[in-house]
Amino acid sequence: MPDSPETRVRIAPSPTGPLHIGTARTALFNYLFARRQGGTFILRLEDTDVARSSLAYEKDILDGLHWLGLTWDEGPEVAGQAARGPYAPYRQMQRLPSYAAAADRLLAADLAYRCYCTPDELDAERRRLEAAKLPPRYNGRCARLTDDERRAFEAEGRRPAIRFRVPEQEVIAFDDLIRGRVEIDASALGGDLVIVRADGNPLYHFTVVVDDAAMAISHVIRGEDHLSNTPKHILLFRALGHPEPRFGHLPLILNADRTKMSKRKTQTALAEYIEQGFVREGLVNYLALLGWSTGTEEEVLSLDELTERFDLAHVHKGGAVFDRERLEWLNGQWIRRLGVDEFVDRLQPFFEVELAGGRIDRLPTDDELRSLAPVIQERLPRLGAVGELVGFLFVDRVEVDPAQLVPKRWDRAITVDGLSAARDALARHDEVTWEADELEPPLRGLAETRGWKAGDLFMAIRVAVTGRTATPPLFDTLVALGRERTLARLDAALAALGS
């Protein structure tokens, strides 16, 4: 392990699936820690699961981290291409010789041995322990084979795995950066650990230690689900003659029912949140608050502000519940902080999705969106909700359910009367006076004169011109529609009511 006093942390995802929200949160915490300490943030790809790893998943991971703004100092910059950094390569499948050399060192020192147990034999032992209500544990059958026994197994065509000798009587203790003192008895680790499969492929517990040592990783900050792995890793660091890094285990991200976050109950892929129109500032802000706080009432924080304030001492030990409503609230705060031009630029791709899906008939112009910004920017929880909010402005005609046109306190006849009178009142305005503060008084006066509640009249008009019961403020909506389209849609609604 290179002798380096600097802070060096890494994120080491496996390209066997899309970038997970939990992995993104872990990457963020490592990034913030490195930047706060003036250290180095490294990306390493754990791609030894060849059957499940893919270039598409690698691209998804790299694109997602780039999108979040988590720039790394060493590692692959582009999917499938060479990495940059003094400890390259940063893909495990390109580092196989280093794992083979480390395994040979352990074998030579009798800290590891070749295991010839077959999958069937191991499965039978697992079932025996299960029936006896005992935890799974390797029985050490191959731990002390003679040369003759090894030759006999090889003559049968058995290919050996390599197991690391786990000490029987030892307590592995370490000071977790988040949880404090942790002590785990080696007897609870399940016996001697397979570090290289019979097919020659090294396993996670081994590769992660070899790589962390080779890359001078000073701090390993990862999820709580790795806590039980840490004693195994510490033993391997020591056996290989390397000082172990400091460890910190982050709280799990939980579903609303406090079970571990899973895609069955919660969307887990970062790409899904991007597609729904969560902005990077909002998502980064929310992920930082999943298990960490500033210790103050501050909630809306930029990446730079998070970097200035981040401290592992304020990471919570308990699980962090993923709250979609809070995420949307925080995301909305960041949408409202966007400048108008930035807001329009980020919004247009979501209108393109609406057009491709046949939910609108044309794209708005940038000028139209700039004029709409004061109305919609304050109301969007995410950019992808813009179609639900104002898609009716960009369709040739709205589909109106006649039953929805009739307010609860009205019947069909009153609704026809109300919409007809409202149309007449609105028709008296020309394009010059078609402004919200000009349109509202006569309609309120109409409701008062007829003895109607203004809300009932306004709801009937809203449904008639938008096809929806929930929209931006009615009079802003009428202005956005314009005089001719408003009157035409009122005529269509009256026709639908049989007027």
Tokens linked to 260: 């571990």
The DSSP bridge partners found for residue 254 are 260, 321
Cα 291 to Cα 312: distance, rounded to the nearest angstrom: 10
**Left if phi > 0, otherwise alpha if psi is -120 to 50, otherwise beta: which for 24?**
alpha
Tokens linked to 147: 């040369």
CB atoms within 10 A of CB 240: 18
Smallest CA-to-CA distance from 465 within 404, 398, 403 is with: 398
The DSSP bridge partners found for residue 40 are 8
Catalytic residue among 263, 265, 317, 453: 263
- Residue 457 contacts by C-beta under 8 Å, 6 or more apart in sequence? 418, 422, 443, 446, 447
> Crossing angle of helices 412-427/483-496, nearest 10°?
160
Determine whether 232 is an active site residue.
Answer: no
**Cα atoms found within 13 Å of the Cα of residue 121, Cβ hemisphere only:** 10
User: How, if at all, do strands 193-196 and 161-164 pair?
Assistant: antiparallel
Tokens linked to 253: 């991200």
**Cα atoms found within 13 Å of the Cα of residue 112, Cβ hemisphere only:** 25
CB atoms within 10 A of CB 24: 26
**CB-CB contact of 244 with 238 (8 Å):** yes
Cα 227 to Cα 247: distance, rounded to the nearest angstrom: 9
Tokens linked to 307: 């970097």
**CB-CB contact of 171 with 183 (8 Å):** yes
Cα 490 to Cα 478: distance, rounded to the nearest angstrom: 11
Residue positions annotated with a catalytic role? 263
